[in-house]
Amino acid sequence: MDGGHSAPENAVRYFAVIGAHDEGALPEAGDCLPVQVLQRYPQKDHKDVRFPPALASFCFPRGGAQVAAPQKEVEETLHGFVLTNEAGDRCFGAALHIWCFDSSRSHLVQRDGALAVLSTQPLWGAFRAFLYSLRYSGNSPERFVVSFVSETPLPPPGFQVIVPWPEIPAFALQRPAPNQLPLLDLPVRRNVGHEAILAMLVLLG
């Protein structure tokens, strides 16, 4: 984020893989490992939206990657976050936490990692659809990332863009019209009161 206020050409600006580095002592169940950006796309910063240096800490708000015993049942989770720079520009992101078996040096544990996306728009439904589709896509995940980040345009207000991909159901990126309330396409529990919903609209709008 670098002070520009014009709408970007692409809907999503960055993709990143966040996790613990492989070097160091053998991880044990219950450990919390320091995390960092392991991969990112694109590699160079955009002029109008810089890659946030503190992204890893927002993807892992508990402080690090969790380590679990191989027999423990673990659950994939998705959470969103909002970054604000010194100029007041906001960047919206989502992180999907996945678990992978780590069998390095004959020591089997499960390790927590995250797939993340960043945009200047709160496209929460598209974030969720893309990250889960990427997680369970079979072939060409790299091509899917490049297509979504570099080739998917930001729809004008009041319109939507359909994202097709051969292996997954198509999903849509949409923005509300200028005379409509901000689009809140996050899953909301039925027992959430209207005061809480209004508070979320103020936060995310």
Residue 201 lies in a domain: no
Residue 138 lies in a domain: yes
Residue 182 lies in a domain: no
Phi-psi region of 87 (alpha: psi -120 to 50; beta: other; left: phi over 0): alpha
Residue 122 lies in a domain: yes
Residue 59 lies in a domain: yes
- CA 24-30-35 angle, to 5 degrees, is 45
- CA 185-187-191 angle, to 5 degrees, is 125
Q: How far apart are CA 182 and CA 202, in angstroms?
A: 9
Residue 175 lies in a domain: no
Domain count, the chain: 1
Per-residue pLDDT tens digits of the chain, which is 205 residues long: 544 445 447 999 999 999 987 666 678 888 888 999 999 999 999 988 899 999 999 999 888 888 888 888 888 899 999 998 777 788 999 999 998 887 665 567 888 899 999 999 989 889 999 999 888 876 678 889 999 999 999 988 888 888 887 777 888 888 877 776 555 555 433 343 444 434 434 444 4
CATH number of the domain where residue 22 is located: 3.30.450
Residue 44 lies in a domain: yes
Q: What pTM, to 2 d.p., does this model score?
A: 0.79
Query: Token pair 């580095």 is at which residue?
Result: 21
Q: Which domain holds residue 46?
A: 14-152
Q: Are 168 and 138 in contact (CB under 8 A)?
A: no
Residue 196 lies in a domain: no
Q: How far apart are CA 123 and CA 40, in angstroms?
A: 20
